[in-house]
Copies of this chain bind each other. A is one copy, B any other.
Amino acid sequence: MKKRGLQNALGSARALLVIVQFTLSSVVCAQHDPWAADKAFLREIFNQSLADGKAYPWLRDLCYGAGHRLSGSPGAEKAVRWAKAVLDTCGLDSVWLQPVLVPRWERGAPEVVEVLGTAKRKNLRLNALALGGSVGTGGKPVVGEVIEVRSWEALDTLGAKTIAGKIVFYNRPMECRHVNTFEAYGGAVDQRVNGPSRAAKYGAIGVLVRSMGLALDDYPHTGSLRYDSAYALIPSAAISTKAAEQLSTLLAKETGVRVSMTLNCRTLPDVLSYNVIGEIRGSKEPDKVILVGGHLDSWDVGHGAHDDGAGCVQSMEVLYLLRRLGYRPRYTLRCVLFMNEENGLRGGLTYANAADEKEELHLFALESDAGGFTPRGFSFDADPEMMDYYYDQVQQFEELLRPYGLLLWRGGSGADISPLRRQKGLLAGLRPDSQRYFDFHHTAADVFEAVHPRELQLGAASMAALVYLIDKYGL
């Protein structure tokens, strides 16, 4: 029912587009710039965002007011209240909270991971953070010999014979030769996500993972693991890249290197939290939604400024900016700040289920969850049967966006909006410059000061520009 609805809608959008394109071509023949009004409006959007943007001061308030905000934590509660209050001041048509039951994991007292000393050397403390979702060590250390592993093949070859009773240390670095650092992340993060259970399968008693970062530094990067319930749940922590190098160097020199891990983390019962939502009702087709969003939760270190405070305040600013510039949208423009992207995606799943139930058709959804750096463009994704059609439509906008340094390409969109893909609308992700992102991602270094005001504001303006164009011309 809802899919047929969207297809009808798309049919009429297509018909409209033919007319628009025809009109545009006629105008081109008349030597008039058919985009003149749009160029002027995009200029207004960027002017406003750079000269009097709200994203940056909002980010300061979020970072210093709520701080980090793991799902179910007091920080997350504060962030929900703060975001609702700010959206309430933006002159939107409605602002509400959507209840979401979220997992609650607590780090507890700081973890202690150290290489045990020998007659020749002292204990060596490793900068570490328990992985999100890890079990704790039950109030006492887990101690074992460390086995370094750089590939799944190596792990499987070692097998239970070598691994049982030991601590597996995954030390395959992110591949620095990727220009886009997300590709480097994608090629290494399987160690963090799947490493614990794959080691437990062979009887490992704990896991250490080299942090997902390209810089050689002292910051451990946390992030979620995924236990396979077929195997024992073993305590798992990330160690900083420098600590990984130190440990690896030691393992090359000594046999029987032993590590002691004390993790005080635990999983508590699920708690109630919220997606925070605000919208401007569409003036012509209010039942169709254009969504912009980021995720309000973060890991429990730093401020979660790039991940994903930036995406939240940018999404909020899209609606603020368009309202302030007096734009009356055709479709309903909705800002959604999702809860629990980091360790459950409950916000995104809840939102999409509710949208399906209410038969709200999401024509377009845009997520910003790749940091508050200078925007380089947008990547687009959709159901395969619709993708070519959509991509042809949006490519016409590149001419307008390129002067702002924005390109368009096919690629991923965002985790929170991915469940909306089944509605067969268009999905997109803001793509900021990626070089510095993994210096901060999931670390104590991801603080407000790591975000540059102009870079953040340019991202907000870029998102507003694309939303404006898609709202105006449809898909």
Contacts and interface: CB of A to CB of B under 8 A. Distances in A.
Interface in A343-400: 374, 376
Given A435-B374, A452-B435, A47 B177 contact: yes
Interface string A446-475: 000000111100100000000000000000
A46 interface: yes
B455 A176 contact: no
Interface residues of A, number: 26
A185 B452 CA distance: 18
A178 B51 CA distance: 10
Interface string A314-330: 00000000000000000
Interface string A401-412: 011110100000
Contact of A50 (B177, B404, B453): B177
A38 interface: no
A404 B46 CA distance: 25
Given A433-B433, A435-B452, A458 B179 contact: yes
Interface string A150-180: 0000000000000000000000000011110
A436 interface: yes
A214 interface: yes
A215 B435 CA distance: 22
B404 A179 contact: yes
Q: How many copies are assembled?
A: 2
A46 B179 contact: yes
Given A374-B433, A433-B374, A435-B454, A51 B179 contact: no
A179 B214 contact: no
Contact of A177 (B46, B402, B433): B46
Interface in A423-448: 433, 435-436
A458 to B, nearest CB: 7
A405 B179 contact: yes
A4 to B, nearest CB: 39
A376 B435 CA distance: 13
A51 B458 contact: no
A374 B373 CA distance: 11
A326 B176 CA distance: 22
Contacts of A177: 46-47, 50-51
Most chain B CB neighbours (cut-off 10 Å) among A181, A405, A452, A453: A405
Contact of A435 (B402, B403, B435, B458): B458
A47 B407 CA distance: 23
Interface string A209-246: 00000110000000000000000000000000000000
Contact of A405 (B214, B376, B452): B376
Contacts of A436: 452, 455
A178 B454 CA distance: 10
Contacts of A181: 454
A458 B178 CA distance: 11
A62 to B, nearest CB: 21
Contacts of A51: 176-177
A453 B51 CA distance: 31
A374 B76 CA distance: 34
Interface of A: 46-47, 50-51, 176-179, 181, 214-215, 374, 376, 402-405, 407, 433, 435-436, 452-455, 458
**8 nearest CB pairs, A to B:** A47-B177, A435-B454, A50-B177, A374-B433, A435-B455, A50-B176, A51-B177, A374-B435
Given A51-B177, A374-B435, 7 more contacts: A179-B404, A179-B405, A179-B458, A215-B453, A402-B407, A433-B433, A435-B455
22 contacts: A46-B177, A46-B179, A50-B176, A50-B178, A51-B176, A179-B403, A179-B404, A179-B405, A179-B458, A181-B454, A214-B454, A374-B433, A374-B435, A376-B405, A402-B407, A407-B407, A433-B433, A435-B452, A435-B454, A435-B455, A435-B458, A436-B452
